Amino acid sequence: MKLELQSTPWMRLSGGLLTDYFTFDVRNLCDTCPQQPNGRTDSGQVSPKANLILGPWSNTEFFVNYGTGFHSNDARSTEAGGSSPLAKAQGAEVGFRSKPWRPERMELIATFWWLDLKSELVFEGDTGTTDARGLTRRYGIEIGARGQVYGPLYFDDSFSWTHAEFRSTGLAIPLAPELTAYSALLLRWPEGLSS
């Protein structure tokens, strides 16, 4: 379900509701191993989503986004009681997008974002499996710029910083990157050759 509203020229609001329903049906076909999971679980979630865009004023737009999502868990572990069938995710971001000079020249984008997970799946390198480790929180910033330098020369750069922690202990999440950066210089010849 989706709804879009544009009440004034400088404000756009869109939102949606997503409904998911899951049935986990696990059958243990092994007669001699009653400890293996067996059973049936139903679970569902309604996920609201909202996007608000303000502007543009002097080629600058501000945006606020909010939404919930989820990931399902292994059907066997939902029957064994190891994890809840659906793990909710909740996130939001505020930021702006700007082309301060000529529209084709350069685009700047900056966001502050936040993401809460009800159950983080952490990869276990020793066993090659993943493990449900509980509530986590992430927040961070991302800034980026891209555009034309001169003639056929373009650039595309972005940088992000993330703080990731387990809610219960405050410890860092294994394998969660803290800093990422990307930088590219591109040559785009009109003949179709690029490098």
Partner 1 sequence: MPFFVDNMPINLRTHGHGQGYTDLSFIIPETIEGIDVVKGTYHEGFGDFDTAGAVRFKTREVLKENVVQGYRQSGYLFGIRAVATAGFQVRDDTISNISFGTQTKRVSTGTIVESAVQEASYTRPT
Residues at the contact surface with partner 1, assessed by CB under 8 A: 1-2, 16-18, 20, 22, 47, 49-51, 65-76, 87, 89-93, 113, 115, 117, 121, 123, 128-130
Taking the complex as a whole, the smallest distance from the CB of residue 190 to partner 1 amounts, in Å, to 19
CB-nearer residue toward partner 1: 57 or 123: 123
Taking the complex as a whole, the smallest distance from the CB of residue 90 to partner 1 amounts, in Å, to 7
CB-nearer residue toward partner 1: 20 or 151: 20
Q: Which two tokens stand for residue 26?
A: 């696990």
CB-nearer residue toward partner 1: 59 or 76: 76
b/e burial code for range 157-180 (CB count within 10 A of at least 16 → b): eeebebebbbeeeeeebeeeeeee
Taking the complex as a whole, the smallest distance from the CB of residue 157 to partner 1 amounts, in Å, to 17
CB-nearer residue toward partner 1: 35 or 58: 35
Coil/strand/helix, residue 17? strand
CB-nearer residue toward partner 1: 60 or 158: 158
What's the rounded Cα separation, in Å, for the pair 116 and 110? 20
What's the rounded Cα separation, in Å, for the pair 124 and 136? 17
Taking the complex as a whole, the smallest distance from the CB of residue 106 to partner 1 amounts, in Å, to 21
CB-nearer residue toward partner 1: 13 or 149: 13
Taking the complex as a whole, the smallest distance from the CB of residue 101 to partner 1 amounts, in Å, to 25
Q: What is the distance between the terminal CA atoms of the chain, rounded to a whole angstrom? A: 43
Is the peptide bond between 152 and the residue preceding it cis, with omega within 30 degrees of 0?
no
Asked if 65 and 51 count as a contact pair (C-beta separation under 8 A), the reply is yes
What's the rounded Cα separation, in Å, for the pair 100 and 84? 47
What's the rounded Cα separation, in Å, for the pair 149 and 187? 10
Taking the complex as a whole, the smallest distance from the CB of residue 67 to partner 1 amounts, in Å, to 4
